[in-house]
Chain A
C-alpha cells in the first residue's frame, strides 16, 4: 500500500505503472480526468495498455480460442479486485465447478476458498445439460438473473465474471429467446453497476461463436495462443474500447505462478531520470577510456564481439566492480552454468565466489530455448523485483534469437532495457557477433537503445589472433578513440596501448617483436652516442696535449732566444769595453771616435 506512492510527484500514469509492475497496488482511486471511469484490473500490464483498466460498471468481452487464458484472466480480475482494491467479485462458472476452479488456480497462488470464506468472492456453478431439458413453451432467464443478483448482493460485489456464457446456447433451446434474454442481461448488468467480464469462445470468422460481440460493445479483448517454432506465445489485443484510448498492438502476455503478465512493448514512457553518477566497469584502463570515470549509472552498455574475445570476462569484471561497491548484481548467463563461470573467472584472477556467498551476486543460468521470450522476460522481471540489483548482465543476448524470431527478440530486448532503465539499473549486454558481417552490427537491432557500445574484436596478424577493444559510442561523455589491446592475464584484464607503427597496428607478439626491435635500435644508437662522446673527449685530450707540446716548444724557443739575446748583449758590451780599453791605451780622443764607430755599426 505504501509502495504505491513511489514517484508520488509524477503524473497519474507513471504512478500507475510503478504500481502495477511492483504489484504492490494500493487504492483504486486512479482515474484519468475527462475519460470514462475505469476499473483497475490489477493484472500486471493490462491496466497500462488499457490506460487505466476496464470500463467501470460495464461489461467487457474477452474472447479467444480454447486454452488461451480467458478463465484465468477472469479469475485474476476478481482475485486482484478482492485483494488489492477491496472489491468483492462473483464468478459465474458455466464450465467448471467451484472446486475444480479453485484447484485449477491454486497453482497460480490464488486461494479461492479463503476469499470465499472472507466473503470477497462468490463462485456459482451453473450447469445446463441439454439432454435433461425439454422445452415446452415460452420461457425466460429470470432464474439466471436471480442467481446473479443473489450472488452479487450476498457479498456486495463490484465485479463479476461470466465464464462462458455461450454454454447457454448449447444447453438451452430456442436461440431467439436466448438472444433477447442476453441483451436484457447486459443491460441488467449495467444497471447493477458491476464491472463484468464475459468470456466467449472464438468463432471462425467472428470474434465469438454466437456473436456476443453484438451485445457487449464497450470493450472487447482478444486472447490468442500461438505456437511458433515449437515455442508458444500468448498474445492479447484490445479489439475495441469505446470511449478510451488504448494500445492497439498485440501484446504478448504470459501465465506463470504469479498470474497473468501483459507486456506492453512500447508503453514504458521514455521519461526515466538520467543519473549523472558514473560507475566503474571494473577495468581501470577502460574507465579511463570512458572519460576517466566509467559509464553512467542506469545506462545500457553493449559489449559485442566475436566468439572468444573476452566478453564474459569483461562482464565479470563489471560484476566484480559492482559487488565491490556493495551493490547487487544479477548475472543472466545463457552459455555457462554458474560453477563453470566461477571456475573460469578464477583462472583470470577474478574470484566471484565471495560475492555469491554474500548474496550480492546472483547468477541465473538458463537455456534460452527453455522458455519463450516472454517467459524469459517475466523471469528476469521477477528476479529484478526480488533481488533489486543495480547492475543486470545478460550474457549473451544473441541467444534470445533461438527462442523466438529476430524481431521478437529485438522488441523483447528493447523492453528489457527500457524496464531496467526506468529503475536506474545499469544494463550490461553482451552480443556475440558472427564472424561474417560487419562488426558494428548486432543481430538484434538494438543499437539505438544502447548508450555505451564497446566493441571487442580479433586482430589477426602474423599467424596469431589478438584481442582489441574500442569504444564505438558512448553517449554523453568524451571517450577515447583509441584501439587498445585487450589482454587476459592471470591478474585480470589488462588494456595496453597497441603499437602503431609504419606497418599499421601491431598486436601480440608482433607488437612485442616490434618493441624489441625498437629497443635494440635504441640501444645501438645509445652506443653510438657513447662512442662519439668518447671520441670527442679523446680528441679534446689530443688537442690539449698538442697545445701543451707547442707551448713547451715555444717555451724552449723563447728561452733559447732570450739566451741568444743575452749573449749578443754580453758580446756588445765586451766589444765596447775592449774599444775603450784600446782608446785608453792609445790616449785617443774619447769624444769623437766612439760616436762615429757607433754610427757605422748601425
Chain B
C-alpha cells in the first residue's frame, strides 16, 4: 500500500507542495503500524493543519524503498521536508517526543 493523505482529504484538487512532507514506513497492517498512522494523523491535524502531506510506504510491497531512506526499524516516520531529514521510530504514542522529533515544539513556539 502506498497511499497519500492530505490535510483536506481532497486528492482531486491541484497538488501544491506542502510545507511538511512526511513519510511513514510500515511493514504490513500490524497493530503497531496502524497505531502509528493514527497517532501521526492526529498529531499532524492538531499541529500542522493544512500544511502536511503523509505518504505511507509498506515495505512488504516495496522492499527496495527501505534502502533509500535507510530504514531499519518499523514503524519509522521520516520528515522529508522541511529539511533536515528527521527520523522518528516507534508507534508515535509518545506525542511529546514525536513533536520534539519533528521539531514542531520550537516551531509552535515561534508561531505562538
Task: Give chain A residues whose Cβ lies under 8 Å from the Cβ of B63.
Answer: 146-147, 149-150
Are A127 and B73 in contact, CB atoms less than 8 angstroms apart?
A: no
Are B73 and A141 in contact, CB atoms less than 8 angstroms apart?
A: yes
Contact of B87 among A132, A137, A147 (CB under 8 A): A132
Are A134 and B73 in contact, CB atoms less than 8 angstroms apart?
A: no
* Known A132-B87, A136-B89, A168-B72; 17 more pairs at CB < 8 Å: A127-B70, A134-B86, A135-B89, A136-B88, A136-B91, A136-B92, A137-B35, A137-B36, A137-B39, A142-B30, A142-B59, A143-B59, A143-B66, A144-B72, A146-B60, A150-B66, A173-B89
> Quick check: is A380 within 8 A (CB to CB) of the other chain?
no
> Quick check: is A597 within 8 A (CB to CB) of the other chain?
no
Q: Could you tell me which residues of chain A, from 125 to 153, have a CB within 8 Å of some CB in chain B?
A: 126-128, 132-144, 146-147, 149-150
How far apart are the CA atoms of A134 and B93 in the complex, in Å?
12
30 CB < 8 A contacts A-B: A128-B70, A128-B72, A133-B88, A134-B87, A134-B88, A134-B97, A134-B98, A134-B100, A134-B101, A135-B89, A135-B90, A136-B90, A136-B92, A136-B98, A137-B90, A139-B32, A139-B76, A140-B73, A141-B73, A141-B74, A142-B30, A142-B59, A143-B66, A143-B74, A144-B72, A144-B73, A146-B59, A147-B72, A172-B73, A172-B89
> Quick check: is A113 within 8 A (CB to CB) of the other chain?
no
CB distance from B6 to the nearest CB of A (A): 23
How far apart are the CA atoms of A138 and B75 in the complex, in Å?
8
Task: Give chain A residues whose Cβ lies under 8 Å from the Cβ of B88.
Answer: 133-136
CB distance from B79 to the nearest CB of A (A): 10
Are B90 and A138 in contact, CB atoms less than 8 angstroms apart?
A: yes
Q: Residue of B at shortest CB range from A147?
A: B66
How far apart are the CA atoms of A134 and B70 in the complex, in Å?
14
> Quick check: is B64 within 8 A (CB to CB) of the other chain?
yes
Are B70 and A139 in contact, CB atoms less than 8 angstroms apart?
A: no
How far apart are the CA atoms of A355 and B76 in the complex, in Å?
71
Are B91 and A142 in contact, CB atoms less than 8 angstroms apart?
A: no
Are A147 and B25 in contact, CB atoms less than 8 angstroms apart?
A: no
Residues of A within 8 A of B (CB): 124, 126-128, 132-144, 146-147, 149-150, 168, 172-173
Task: Give chain A residues whose Cβ lies under 8 Å from the Cβ of B93.
Answer: 136-138
Are B98 and A143 in contact, CB atoms less than 8 angstroms apart?
A: no
7 nearest A-B pairs in the assembled complex, by CB-CB distance:
A134-B101, A137-B90, A150-B63, A137-B93, A137-B91, A142-B74, A136-B90
> Quick check: is B49 within 8 A (CB to CB) of the other chain?
no
How far apart are the CA atoms of A285 and B36 in the complex, in Å?
93
Q: Could you tell me which residues of chain B, from 15 to 63, have a CB within 8 Å of some CB in chain A?
A: 25, 27, 30, 32, 35-36, 39, 59-60, 63
The number of residue pairs between A and B whose CB atoms lie closer than 8 Å in the complex comes to: 96
Are B27 and A143 in contact, CB atoms less than 8 angstroms apart?
A: yes
Task: Give chain B residues whose Cβ lies under 8 Å from the Cβ of A146.
Answer: 27, 59-60, 63, 66
How far apart are the CA atoms of A14 and B28 in the complex, in Å?
51
Task: Give chain A residues whose Cβ lies under 8 Å from the Cβ of B64.
Answer: 150
Task: Give chain A residues whose Cβ lies under 8 Å from the Cβ of B35.
Answer: 137
Task: Give chain A residues whose Cβ lies under 8 Å from the Cβ of B36.
Answer: 137
Residue among A127, A133, A134 with the most chain B CB within 10 A?
A134
Task: Give chain B residues whose Cβ lies under 8 Å from the Cβ of A128.
Answer: 70, 72
Task: Give chain A residues whose Cβ lies under 8 Å from the Cβ of B98.
Answer: 134, 136
How far apart are the CA atoms of A135 and B100 in the complex, in Å?
10
Q: Residue of B at shortest CB range from A149?
A: B63
How far apart are the CA atoms of A490 and B94 in the complex, in Å?
95
CB distance from A155 to the nearest CB of B (A): 14
Q: Is the interface of A mostly helix, strand, loop or mixed?
A: mixed
CB distance from B76 to the nearest CB of A (A): 7
Q: Chain B contact residues (Cβ within 8 angstroms of A): what range?
A: 35 or more
> Quick check: is B111 within 8 A (CB to CB) of the other chain?
no
Task: Give chain A residues whose Cβ lies under 8 Å from the Cβ of B1.
Answer: none
Q: Residue of A at shortest CB range from B102?
A: A134
Are B70 and A126 in contact, CB atoms less than 8 angstroms apart?
A: yes
Are B89 and A132 in contact, CB atoms less than 8 angstroms apart?
A: no
How far apart are the CA atoms of A147 and B73 in the complex, in Å?
11
- Asked, given contacts A134-B97, A144-B73, A147-B72, whether A139 binds B90 with beta carbons under 8 Å apart, the answer is yes
Are A140 and B74 in contact, CB atoms less than 8 angstroms apart?
A: yes
> Quick check: is B108 within 8 A (CB to CB) of the other chain?
no
Q: Residue of A at shortest CB range from B93?
A: A137
How far apart are the CA atoms of A147 and B76 in the complex, in Å?
14
How far apart are the CA atoms of A143 and B64 in the complex, in Å?
11
> Quick check: is B81 within 8 A (CB to CB) of the other chain?
no
Task: Give chain B residues whose Cβ lies under 8 Å from the Cβ of A139.
Answer: 32, 73-76, 89-91
How far apart are the CA atoms of A143 and B71 in the complex, in Å?
6
Task: Give chain B residues whose Cβ lies under 8 Å from the Cβ of A136.
Answer: 88-94, 97-98, 101
CB distance from B20 to the nearest CB of A (A): 16
Task: Give chain A residues whose Cβ lies under 8 Å from the Cβ of B109.
Answer: none
CB distance from A358 to the nearest CB of B (A): 57
Q: Residue of B at shortest CB range from A134?
A: B101
Task: Give chain A residues whose Cβ lies under 8 Å from the Cβ of B66.
Answer: 143, 146-147, 150
Residue among A126, A142, A144, A150 with the most chain B CB within 10 A?
A142
CB distance from A138 to the nearest CB of B (A): 5
Are A132 and B85 in contact, CB atoms less than 8 angstroms apart?
A: yes
- Asked, given contacts A134-B100, A138-B32, whether A143 binds B72 with beta carbons under 8 Å apart, the answer is yes
Task: Give chain A residues whose Cβ lies under 8 Å from the Cβ of B101.
Answer: 134, 136
CB distance from B88 to the nearest CB of A (A): 5
> Quick check: is B67 within 8 A (CB to CB) of the other chain?
yes
CB distance from A111 to the nearest CB of B (A): 22
How far apart are the CA atoms of A112 and B66 in the complex, in Å?
22
Residue among B66, B87, B92 with the most chain A CB within 10 A?
B66
CB distance from A193 to the nearest CB of B (A): 19
How far apart are the CA atoms of A585 and B60 in the complex, in Å?
196
How far apart are the CA atoms of A293 and B100 in the complex, in Å?
90
Task: Give chain A residues whose Cβ lies under 8 Å from the Cβ of B67.
Answer: 124, 147
Task: Give chain A residues whose Cβ lies under 8 Å from the Cβ of B32.
Answer: 138-140
Q: Residue of A at shortest CB range from B69?
A: A143
CB distance from A343 to the nearest CB of B (A): 64
How far apart are the CA atoms of A403 and B60 in the complex, in Å?
57
CB distance from A361 to the nearest CB of B (A): 56
How far apart are the CA atoms of A124 and B90 in the complex, in Å?
23
How far apart are the CA atoms of A237 and B29 in the complex, in Å?
46
